[in-house]
Amino acid sequence: MSTAIPMIELWRGGMLESVHHGHAVIWGPGGIEAAWGDPDAVIYPRSSCKMLQALPLIESGAADVAGLGQVQLALACASHSGGAIHTDAVQDWIAGLGLSEADFRCGVHMPWDSAAKARCQCGQDHPNQFHNNCSGKHAGFLTLNQHLKGDSDYVALDHPVQQACRAAFEDMVGQTAPHWGIDGCSAPNFACSIGGLAQAMQRFASARSGGSRRDAAAERLTQAMMAHPELVAAAPRACTRLMRAAKGQAAVKTGAEAVYVAILPQQRKGIALKITDGATRASEAAICALLLRCKVIDPADPVVESLIPSAQTNWRGKVFGEMRCADGFA
C-alpha cells in the first residue's frame, strides 16, 4: 500500500507511545479538496460501501415493488448490532417477501447488542443469521434477487445481484475494481482507491431526488441513514453517535479494518479514510476529526471527547495520557 501518514497519536506521560497511520480524502463538488497520505491507495471498502451495494435495490424498482420504506433502506446500509430493533425489522421484511432465515447466505455470529447477546448466552435465544450485522444488506440482496428471479446463491460473483452491485460500485467510484475479495458476510467486496471511494460519497452528497434514477436512489439511501442512525449501527456505536451529533448534516458509515466514509449533503462533500493497521479506535477518531474540520459536529458535543479523548483515564480514574491528531492531519 502507498505511503500513509501519521493520523492519530496516543501519548502517555508526555511521551508518544503509539501512532496510527492512514489515508484520507475529502472530495467536494470540484474534486479533491483535501487529502492525507495517498488518494490512489487501493483498499477494500468493506461495509463502508453498503449504500453503493443498495443502489440496484432501488434503481431496479425492487424496493418499490416490495413496499420498502426508510427503515428497510437504512437497514440495507447497516452494520447493525443485532438488537431486537434490528432483528425484528429484518424478520418482518423477509416474512413479507415469503422468505425465511434459511434463505440468507450471510452466516451466523453472536449479536453485538448486549441484551441480545445475554439472551443467547443464557439459552433464551440462539444466534442466527438475523443477528448477523449484515442481515439488512442481505435482506436487500434477497429483495433484489426475488425481483430479478435469480437462483438462491445470490452472493456468487457471477450472480445477477452481484453483477448489478459491481456495476453500480464501479460507476460510482469511477474505476474498474482491480481486485475483489470475499467479505465477512460471504458477499464479494470490490477494491477501489481512497479517492474513488470519497468521490462516490460526494456523488451521494450531491444527489437530489429530481435528478436521474441513480441520483434519486442515492438521495433516498442517504436520507434513510440520517433518519434512522440507530438502525445503521446502534446507540452506543460511533456511526450512530456521530450521525446524531451531526443533526442531519452527515450520513456516516464504518467498514471493517478501519475504513470510514461520510456523506455531507448540505456541503455536497464526501469523505473516505483508511487506517492502515486496521485499528477501529483510530478510524473513529479520524472520522470525528474530519467531521469537525467540515464543521458538521459541535466541538463541545460529548462524542468528540469520547472518540478523541484529551484525558485518558485508567481503571482507578487516574489520567495517564491523551489521544491527539498528528501534526498535519485534519
Q: How does pLDDT run across 33-88, given as a tens digit for each residue? A: 999 999 999 999 999 999 999 999 999 999 999 999 999 999 999 999 999 999 99
- Cβ contact 330:14 at 8 Å: no
pLDDT at 210: 86
Q: What percent of the chain has pLDDT over 90?
A: 98
Q: Say if CB 68 and CB 94 are below 8 A apart.
A: no
Angstrom distances, CA of residue 175 to CA of 42, 111, 196, 218, 279: 11, 35, 7, 18, 27
**Cβ contacts of residue 325 below 8 Å, gap of 6+?**
7, 8, 9, 285, 286, 289, 308
pLDDT in tens, 285-302: 999 999 999 999 999 999
- Which CATH entry fits the domain spanning 5-325: 1.10.3470, 2.60.120, 3.40.710, 3.40.50? 3.40.710
Residue 1 has pLDDT above 70, yes or no: no
pLDDT tens for 184-231 read 999 999 999 999 999 999 999 999 988 899 999 999 999 999 999 999
Q: What are the pLDDT digits (tens) for 41-51?
A: 999 999 999 99
CB 191 within 8 A of CB 42: yes
Q: Kindly tell me if the per-residue pLDDT of 2 is higher than 80.
A: no
Distance CA 32, CA 292 (A): 18
Please say whether the beta carbons of 34 and 290 come within 8 A. no
What region, left, alpha or beta, does residue 186 occupy, with left being phi > 0 and alpha being psi -120 to 50 degrees? left
